[in-house]
Amino acid sequence: MARSFQNYLGDLRESRVWQSIFRSGSGPSNLHRSQAIQQNLYLHLFSVKSRRSSLAIGVTWYLGTLSMVTFLILVATGIPLMLYYHPSVPQAYADMKDLQFAVSAGLFLRNLHRWSAHAMVLLVFAHMFRVFYRGAYRPPREFNWVIGVMLLLVTLFLSYTGYLLPWDQLAFWAITVGSNIMSAVPLLGPKIRFLTLGGNTVNANALLRFYVLHCVILPLAGGMLVGIHFWRIRKDGGLYSGKSGDESQPQVSQPHE
């Protein structure tokens, strides 16, 4: 008689390979459940104690999770795009055309990267409005609200710096207008504009600086801030449901077998 999938899955969980990776299974006590979460790389991202009401989809709509998913898609598509792109004035526009017409799956990668960037901006804004509407910025979560605002700024700067990389007329004039707005900042405006562009005009220096910002500095900053953001959610007792009196009723999560 053929063995069922559950039997094979049970044998896998009893094997030394599985137990060497997942060292503690869930048990009847809160201590066992806490250990199962803390010793699992994926589950360790979540709070040990959660409120049942905060897990309903209508509370968060998973906007933060979806924002993180789009960020990962941007990283996954951005790395292969970097292999075919040169941040130099003679080649940048030609490389974009090669991605569109010559590189295998290049158009798909570029469009997936572009639409994921649009989706990330919309999701981050929606996440911020949801947090504000629910009052999840209130103590003791005010520090995480500040981290979230910083992540919003990183998201906007990622979109802005990526806008110049195709090096076409639309990108050139958009960055020109944006950099002129920077110069209107009191006292430091002209210096900020000069530092951002690497000169007084949008040229090769600006393209190289925007490339480094877009591909290295801002993604690293975003990744570190996301780590702090998740850590603060864990330390603040998980997701905020917004229900009166619910903040004092967390329960230890039960990992699935």
Cβ neighbors of 204 (< 8 A, separation 6 or more) are 88, 89
Residue 71 near residue 222, CB atoms below 8 Å: yes
Question: By mean pLDDT, which of 8-17, 77-86, 89-98, 189-198 is the weakest?
Answer: 8-17
pLDDT at 256: 53
Q: What is the pTM of this model?
A: 0.85
For residues 229 and 241, which has the higher predicted lDDT (pLDDT)?
229
Q: How confident is the model over 160-184, as pLDDT tens digits?
A: 999 999 999 999 999 999 999 999 9
Residue-number span of the structural domain to which 184 is assigned: 56-240
Average pLDDT, the chain: 88
pLDDT at 211: 98
pLDDT at 57: 82
Q: How confident is the model over 122-137, as pLDDT tens digits?
A: 999 999 999 999 899 9
pLDDT at 193: 96
HSE (CB half, 13 Å, CA atoms) of 124?
26
Residue 187 near residue 113, CB atoms below 8 Å: no
Q: Give the Cα separation of 123 and 153 in Å (integer).
A: 13
pLDDT at 43: 72
Q: Tell whether the model's pLDDT for residue 27 goes beyond 90.
A: no
CATH of the domain at 203: 1.20.810.10
24 found inside a domain: no
The total number of structural domains in the chain stands at 1
34 found inside a domain: no
217 found inside a domain: yes
139 prior amide bond cis, ω within 30 = no
For residues 151 and 38, which has the higher predicted lDDT (pLDDT)?
151
Residue 124 near residue 67, CB atoms below 8 Å: yes
Q: Give the Cα separation of 78 and 215 in Å (integer).
A: 8
- Fill in the amino acid letter for 60: T
1 found inside a domain: no
Q: Tell whether the model's pLDDT for residue 1 goes beyond 70.
A: no
245 found inside a domain: no
Q: Tell whether the model's pLDDT for residue 32 goes beyond 80.
A: no
Q: Average of pLDDT values for 226-238?
A: 89
Percent of the chain having pLDDT more than 90?
65
175 found inside a domain: yes
Percent of the chain having pLDDT more than 70?
89
Q: Average of pLDDT values for 59-63?
A: 89
Among candidates 171, 181, 246, 226, which has minimal Cα distance to 202? 171
pLDDT at 249: 58
pLDDT at 199: 93
For residues 173 and 241, which has the higher predicted lDDT (pLDDT)?
173
250 found inside a domain: no
pLDDT at 76: 98
209 found inside a domain: yes
Q: Which residues pair with 252 in a beta bridge?
A: 49
Q: Average of pLDDT values for 44-59?
A: 74
90, burial (CB in 10 Å: exposed 0-12, middle 13-18, buried 19+):
exposed
